Amino acid sequence: MAAKGKDPQAPSLDPQAQSESTAALLRELVAHLRQNRTQLREEWARRITRAQLLTAMTEEEIFAEATSVYDNYVEALETGTFEALQAYARNLSERIIPRGVETHEVVGIVLLLRDVLARSLFGKYHEDFDKLNRILDAYEPAANRVANTVAVGFVQERERIIRQQQEAIRELSTPVLQVRERLLILPIIGVIDPQRARQLTEQLLRAIRTNRAKVVVIDITGVAAMDSNVANHLVQTVEASRLLGATVIVTGLSPEIAQTLVTIGVDLSEMATVGDLQGGIEEAERLLGYKVVPLEEPVPKA
Amino acid sequence: MEVPILKQGLYLIASIQSALTDADLSALREALIERVGKYRARGVIVDVTALDVMDSFAVRTLRDIAHMARLRGAETVIVGIQPEVAFAMVQLGLTLKGVSTALDLEEGLAFLDRQGRERLDRVQGRGTRGGTTRG
């Protein structure tokens, strides 16, 4: 591309000079914010309390956080790098999310700080309107980026926690338990969506293999409602288990579910169903050749 | 590639070691059906542990083997279907209806032994006990 060997950046002299003056203005701005640190910080904390933000925290905590946010804020303005601020925002979010701080509060306090600082700049430069304009030109984009960084950091942290919890719930919600040699039970509780049904089946198939299970009892007492999709998933689970050589017994179909399934015409004739979990386990034991007898019963002599 | 067919007592064991072409599958079917008569086998075990995909042709061939072998007097068990393969099969609606399945070779042999005993029991007019996974 650069065939002529001429610097294509040549006409950028003007913007460069402009960015230099922006840098100078930012330096001046930062010096001002450093000078008035105590006063501005207090003003900000006061405004936060007055706006009834961060109600989950005590005043001392708000002041302490306000101080460190303020310092990080000024530093981000000065250096133009946001990594430190990002890390701080993540760290802050990690601490305050468990205490019930909401997104609007975090966005609110950052915007408040922006407002407090802007007012202070108005106060300082109100006599030199032209300079005020230039200062604001330098300040606004940087301040917006800072506000953006903090808010995004908070939301990201929140989403990360939600994802983590969702995963934990999903893991918890499908325990495959071995009750006897070669007999597994899979109690399903809650709502079955396609994703969960898929995960459930995969987990069950893996468990059948590792435990060398011969019979599986799937208990759906805890499933409130079932539609044709869920029923089809269940049929698929039963079929896939059979391919691995395991017999599946489904237990705990509630009267409502039984009525729905027959009404919407789902064919469950391929499926072995038993009324409740106890019956299912008894049937499974029979299939496996177990017989449970009470201890005190005298053993008949052969 | 050819699938080795081993004779083990009354049973024939075909252990598939790698992915097969359609022609290989057909050859396996023919060889198995022929040998059921030759060795007077009472059971056939097809071990698919090494397969990590099964298409509709493979599934149909396995089903055909089972039905044909039954006509020739031998019960067939498919053993070693991987969990992922089983899941993919049911999603595609390939479910090996009417064919017995077992977890692995050991289970397959135990299943055939039990079947043989039950057949004997029936002949001798005794009661039978459940426990198969015939679909």
Closest approach of A211 to chain B, Cα-based (Å): 11
CA B36, B41, B42, B46 torsion-angle sign: negative
The pLDDT assigned to A18 comes to: 63
Task: State which amino acid sits at residue A137.
Answer: D
Report the residue from A209, A236, A288 with minimal CB separation from B83: A209
As a whole-number percent, the residues of chain A with pLDDT over 70 amount to 90
pLDDT higher than threshold 60 for residue A186: yes
Give chain B positions within 8 Å (CB) of A214: 103, 107, 131
Give the model confidence (pLDDT) of A190-239 as tens digits.
878 888 888 889 999 999 999 999 999 999 988 888 888 888 888 889 99
The residues near A251 (Cβ < 8 Å, ≥ 6 apart) are A217, A218, A219, A220, A221, A273, A274, A275, A276, A277, A279, A280
Given CB atoms, is B87 within the 8 Å cutoff of chain A? yes
* Partner-chain contact B90 A206, CB within 8 Å: no
The residues near A155 (Cβ < 8 Å, ≥ 6 apart) are A103
Distance between CA atoms of residues A130 and A139, nearest Å: 14
Given CB atoms, is B65 within the 8 Å cutoff of chain A? no
Task: State which amino acid sits at residue B102.
Answer: A
Report the residue from A212, A240, A287 with minimal CB separation from B90: A240
Write out the residues of chain A at the interface with chain B, using a CB-CB cutoff of 8 A.
201-202, 205-206, 208-209, 212, 214, 236-237, 239-247, 270, 286-289
Tell me if A56 sits within 8 A of A23, measured CB to CB.
Answer: no
Give the model confidence (pLDDT) of A7-61 as tens digits.
444 444 455 666 667 788 888 888 888 888 888 888 888 888 888 888 888 888 8
CA nearest neighbour of B87 among A8, A141, A205, A140: A205
The residues near A108 (Cβ < 8 Å, ≥ 6 apart) are A51, A53
* Partner-chain contact A239 B95, CB within 8 Å: yes
Average of pLDDT values for A265-285?
88
- Provide DSSP, A219-278: EEEE-----HHHHHHHHHHHHHHHHTT-EEEEE---HHHHHHHHHHT---TTSEEESSHH
Per-residue pLDDT of chain B (135 residues; tens, 9 = 90+): 788 999 999 999 999 988 899 999 999 999 999 999 899 999 999 999 999 999 999 999 999 999 999 998 899 999 999 999 999 999 898 888 889 999 999 999 999 999 888 888 887 765 444 444 554
The pLDDT assigned to B74 comes to: 92
3-state secondary structure of A185: strand
Q: Which two tokens stand for residue B53?
A: 């995909």
Give chain B positions within 8 Å (CB) of A200: none
* Partner-chain contact A270 B81, CB within 8 Å: no
* Partner-chain contact B130 A287, CB within 8 Å: yes
Distance between CA atoms of residues B60 and B72, nearest Å: 18
Q: How many residues does chain B have?
A: 135
The pLDDT assigned to A302 comes to: 57
Q: Which residues pair with B76 in a beta bridge?
A: B44
The pLDDT assigned to A265 comes to: 83
Look up tokens 């133009």; give the residue: A80
Task: Check residues A298 and A132 and name the one with the higher pLDDT.
Answer: A132
- Give, in order, the Cα–Cα distances in Å from A134 to each of A28, A122, A128, A131: 12, 12, 10, 5
Given CB atoms, is B79 within the 8 Å cutoff of chain A? yes
The pLDDT assigned to A94 comes to: 84
Q: Which two tokens stand for residue B37?
A: 């008569």
The vertex-A250 CA angle with A246 and A251, nearest 5°, equals 140
CA B122, B123, B125, B126 torsion-angle sign: negative
* Partner-chain contact A244 B95, CB within 8 Å: no
Report the residue from A206, A236, A244 with minimal CB separation from B81: A244
Mean pLDDT, all residues of chain B? 88
The pLDDT assigned to A6 comes to: 44
Closest approach of A203 to chain B, Cα-based (Å): 9
The pLDDT assigned to A48 comes to: 86
* Partner-chain contact B95 A243, CB within 8 Å: yes
* Partner-chain contact B79 A245, CB within 8 Å: yes
Q: Which residues pair with B44 in a beta bridge?
A: B12, B76
The pLDDT assigned to A14 comes to: 56
Tell me if A44 sits within 8 A of A112, measured CB to CB.
Answer: yes
* Partner-chain contact B83 A270, CB within 8 Å: no
The pLDDT assigned to A91 comes to: 85
Q: For this complex, say whether ipTM is above 0.90.
A: no
* Partner-chain contact B81 A239, CB within 8 Å: no
pLDDT higher than threshold 90 for residue A62: no
Give the model confidence (pLDDT) of A94-140 as tens digits.
888 888 888 888 888 888 888 888 888 888 888 888 888 888 888 88
The pLDDT assigned to A32 comes to: 86
Q: Which residues pair with B25 in a beta bridge?
A: none
- Provide DSSP, A102-145: -HHHHHHHHHHHHHHHHHHHHHHHTT-HHHHHHHHHHHHHHHHH
Give chain B positions within 8 Å (CB) of A248: none
Report the residue from B87, B90, B107 with minimal CB separation from A245: B107
The pLDDT assigned to B133 comes to: 52
Mean pLDDT, all residues of chain A? 83
Tell me if B39 sits within 8 A of B7, measured CB to CB.
Answer: yes
The pLDDT assigned to A10 comes to: 44
* Partner-chain contact A242 B133, CB within 8 Å: yes
Query: What's chain A's Rg over C-alpha atoms?
Result: 33
Give chain B positions within 8 Å (CB) of A239: 90, 95, 135
The pLDDT assigned to B46 comes to: 96
0.80 exceeded by pTM = no
Look up tokens 């990594």; give the residue: A83
* Helices (runs of H) and strands (runs of E) counted in chain A: 10, 5
**Chain B contact probe: residue of A195, A200, A232, A242 with most B CBs at under 10 A:** A242
The pLDDT assigned to B126 comes to: 56
**Which B residues, 1 through 30, put their C-beta within 8 Å of a C-beta on chain A?**
none
CA nearest neighbour of A93 among A160, A169, A164, A168: A160
Give the model confidence (pLDDT) of B52-82 as tens digits.
999 999 999 999 999 999 998 899 999 999 9
3-state secondary structure of A219: strand
As a whole-number percent, the residues of chain A with pLDDT over 90 amount to 20
Tell me if B114 sits within 8 A of B106, measured CB to CB.
Answer: no
Task: State which amino acid sits at residue B96.
Answer: L
3-state secondary structure of B8: strand
Delimit the domains of chain B by residue range.
5-128
Q: Hey, what CATH topology would domain B5-128 get?
A: Transcription Regulator spoIIAA (3.30.750)
* Partner-chain contact A242 B129, CB within 8 Å: no
The pLDDT assigned to B128 comes to: 46
With CA atoms as reference, the chain B residue closest to A243 would be: B101
* Partner-chain contact B131 A289, CB within 8 Å: yes
- Residue A1: which pLDDT band, with cuts at 50, 70 and 90? very low
- Residue A151: which pLDDT band, with cuts at 50, 70 and 90? confident
